[in-house]
Structure 1
Amino acid sequence: MDITDKRIDDGKAFDWGKTSEEYAKYRDIYPDIFYKKIADRGLCIKGQKVLDLGTGTGVLPRNMYKYGAEWTGTDISPEQIEQAKKLAEKSGMNIDFKAVSAEKLDFPSESFDVITACQCFWYFDHAKVAPEFQRILKKDGKLVILYMAWLPFEDELAGKSEDLVRKFNPKWSGGGETRHPIWIPDVMYDYFELEEHEEYDVNVHFTKESWHGRMFACRGVGASLSPDELAKWDAEHRALLADAPDEFDVLHYAATAILKRKDL
């Protein structure tokens, strides 16, 4: 399913379904502290019903399943949801996955204690989703927005890999990250209040192959390049990694924003 949004990559089409297998294999990379910080706040734990938006291959619900919450995951891509179902079933996890966009949710009012959105919040039509998120959350429910990105101006390898993405996809707007709080559009504050936010550094461990796979599974490469462009990118990125150590850490920052539902 091609997605075009003028806010993202200057409207260049992308399709997560094109890279769902690589996404499943290479994008489950968040360190344990990423999940522990959520649970330590009393969120996504036993006794709570949680909706994970833009769930992709179910990375967040699968990794937080051990904390005991009852999870539902939604994503606009049927291919991503298919991978999520396979991975959850393989691990014996009972997670309800649905292929539906965030703008077309149809859950009953006050269905969830927590809504999570990891690496996906900027894709939404915020004017449409803000009242819907407020409606389907229970009283005092929380919206948890999560993000993690490499730091290209501080990590040399990340910077070089990012430059190569832009060589083949100049319209890609996913790079150039620096540390900052998660952006919350003004319309969200009509329905939620910001309770807290946190930003912190993490080192993420990779092998040459897993970093190559991680870059392939980004929006600017596997989700949007043509087969010919992908073959050329693949060769050049492997050449770039030739002199890298077999294993290495890449510096990232992680960010969390927690919004509390307003009782309108």
Structure 2
Amino acid sequence: MFHRTAIHVLLFTFMHWITKVRSLNNEKMILDILGARGVGIREATRVDSIDGCMEKCGKCKVIVFYADQMCVVFDIVTAAFIVSPGAICCIREEYNVMSCAPCTLMKFNVTETDVTSLRSKIGIWHYFNSSSSIVNIIPHRWRKSSDDYEMICQSEGAHLASIRSREENDFISGLASSACHCKHIGIISSLRNFSVYSWRDGTPMNYTNWLPDEPFVRFGRLCGHMWEWKGWANENCDSYLSPSLKCCAVCKKPTIT
């Protein structure tokens, strides 16, 4: 186990390096900044999706895909702590399989097959004072529906986000706006009447921001998403939006009192 001071140094070093590389204009990053190779980093570049990040991996040990589309590739698993708001971490397991899960605080001081301690919860949340709640952006993932994202949120004691005011709508819309063209939110139609909507978390439906001609009349249980220009649209809850739409998801839960 590393001394607390050493952990803080590693954390500062990595995060300072990430800040540096994100400020560069070129897509291929110089890896020797502040000893990046010392924490196992081979490459840091922007990609369109987690699938694009996976393509960069090759025989790497770990990839981290951030909500702002930064992809960081690790060739070795070393003693490094990574703070990764809304990121997805993929770790090479037995039989050369890459296993992916949300990550925020990852400790890379284990063996390749000892991946249990590399599992982590979503963990990094944004506080919205007016509703005494915290929200988190989940990066878009191929073949994930609104129902799939709701299950991810529930695993963290949350639901896809309810929105109670224009201020909250603008707050959520502004999170990770450069990486997410749309965001799944927690609006869902009634099982008996598909034209009647409510919030998954039981919040009263006192505010809506549908785009013109929305909600569109469809068959089946319907869910909603927020477009980057802040209007809402609906789709079937079990449908997969095109990866080119880069539709993330927003989890929300009350603050702990």
Query: TM-score of the superposition, structure 2-length normalised?
Result: 0.28
> Larger C-alpha radius of gyration, 1 or 2?
2
| Structure (1 or 2) with the greater strand fraction | 2
Query: TM-score of the superposition, structure 1-length normalised?
Result: 0.28
Q: With CA pairs under 8 Å and 6+ residues apart, which has the higher RCO, 1 or 2?
A: 1
